[in-house]
Amino acid sequence: MIKYDRLWITMKEKGITQYDLYTKHNINRSQLDRLRHNKNIEVNTIDRLCNILHCNVEDIMEHFEDDNIF
Protein backbone atom coordinates (compact mmCIF):
# COMPACT_ATOMS: atom_id res chain seq x y z
CA MET A 1 0.00 0.00 0.00
CA ILE A 2 1.21 3.49 -0.83
CA LYS A 3 0.58 6.21 1.73
CA TYR A 4 1.01 9.93 1.15
CA ASP A 5 1.36 11.02 4.78
CA ARG A 6 4.84 12.36 4.06
CA LEU A 7 3.39 14.74 1.45
CA TRP A 8 1.56 16.78 4.09
CA ILE A 9 4.68 16.96 6.26
CA THR A 10 6.83 18.08 3.32
CA MET A 11 4.23 20.66 2.29
CA LYS A 12 4.23 22.11 5.81
CA GLU A 13 8.04 22.22 5.90
CA LYS A 14 8.09 24.01 2.52
CA GLY A 15 5.29 26.41 3.46
CA ILE A 16 2.98 25.25 0.65
CA THR A 17 -0.71 24.73 1.37
CA GLN A 18 -3.35 22.71 -0.44
CA TYR A 19 -4.83 26.04 -1.51
CA ASP A 20 -1.49 26.94 -3.11
CA LEU A 21 -1.43 23.64 -4.98
CA TYR A 22 -4.78 24.12 -6.66
CA THR A 23 -4.65 27.88 -7.19
CA LYS A 24 -1.00 28.51 -8.07
CA HIS A 25 0.10 25.12 -9.41
CA ASN A 26 -3.11 23.79 -11.01
CA ILE A 27 -3.27 20.58 -8.99
CA ASN A 28 -6.87 19.44 -9.22
CA ARG A 29 -8.86 19.27 -5.97
CA SER A 30 -9.93 15.72 -6.81
CA GLN A 31 -6.24 14.74 -7.00
CA LEU A 32 -5.71 16.23 -3.54
CA ASP A 33 -8.68 14.24 -2.28
CA ARG A 34 -7.22 11.05 -3.76
CA LEU A 35 -3.91 11.81 -2.04
CA ARG A 36 -5.68 12.49 1.27
CA HIS A 37 -7.32 9.06 1.07
CA ASN A 38 -4.23 7.20 -0.18
CA LYS A 39 -5.91 6.28 -3.47
CA ASN A 40 -4.21 5.69 -6.81
CA ILE A 41 -2.82 8.68 -8.63
CA GLU A 42 -0.82 8.98 -11.83
CA VAL A 43 2.96 9.06 -11.82
CA ASN A 44 2.73 12.39 -13.64
CA THR A 45 1.03 13.88 -10.57
CA ILE A 46 3.80 12.59 -8.32
CA ASP A 47 6.36 14.10 -10.69
CA ARG A 48 4.57 17.46 -10.65
CA LEU A 49 4.41 17.46 -6.85
CA CYS A 50 8.13 16.69 -6.60
CA ASN A 51 8.88 19.58 -8.96
CA ILE A 52 6.61 21.97 -7.06
CA LEU A 53 8.00 21.00 -3.66
CA HIS A 54 11.60 20.59 -4.89
CA CYS A 55 11.79 17.19 -3.22
CA ASN A 56 12.26 13.49 -3.93
CA VAL A 57 9.56 10.84 -4.29
CA GLU A 58 10.32 9.43 -0.85
CA ASP A 59 9.53 12.87 0.63
CA ILE A 60 5.88 12.56 -0.42
CA MET A 61 5.05 8.86 -0.40
CA GLU A 62 5.89 5.66 1.41
CA HIS A 63 5.26 1.99 0.66
CA PHE A 64 3.84 -0.37 3.29
CA GLU A 65 3.42 -4.10 2.77
CA ASP A 66 -0.13 -5.34 2.87
CA ASP A 67 -1.97 -8.57 2.23
CA ASN A 68 -3.32 -7.54 -1.20
CA ILE A 69 -0.81 -9.66 -3.05
CA PHE A 70 -2.09 -11.17 -6.27
Axis crossing angle, helix 43-53 with helix 5-14, rounded to the nearest 10 = 30
Question: Which CATH number does the domain housing residue 9 bear?
Answer: 1.10.260.40
pLDDT in tens, 15-40: 999 999 999 999 999 999 999 999 99
Please determine, for residue 4, whether its predicted confidence score (pLDDT) is greater than 90. yes
Q: What angle do CA 50, 42, 1 make, to 5 degrees?
A: 90
CA distance 14 to 70: 38
Residue 56 is given by DSSP the state: -
Length of the chain: 70
pTM: 0.87
In a domain, 68, yes or no: no
Asked if residue 69 belongs to a domain, the reply is no
- Confidence grade of residue 66 (pLDDT, cut at 50, 70, 90): confident
For residue 21, give the nearest of 10, 32, 8, 33 by alpha carbon.
32
Domain annotation covers residue 57: yes
- Rounded CA separation 53/56 (Å): 9
Tell me if 52 is assigned to some domain: yes
Number of domains in the chain: 1
35 is in which domain, residue-wise? 2-63
29 assigned to some structural domain: yes
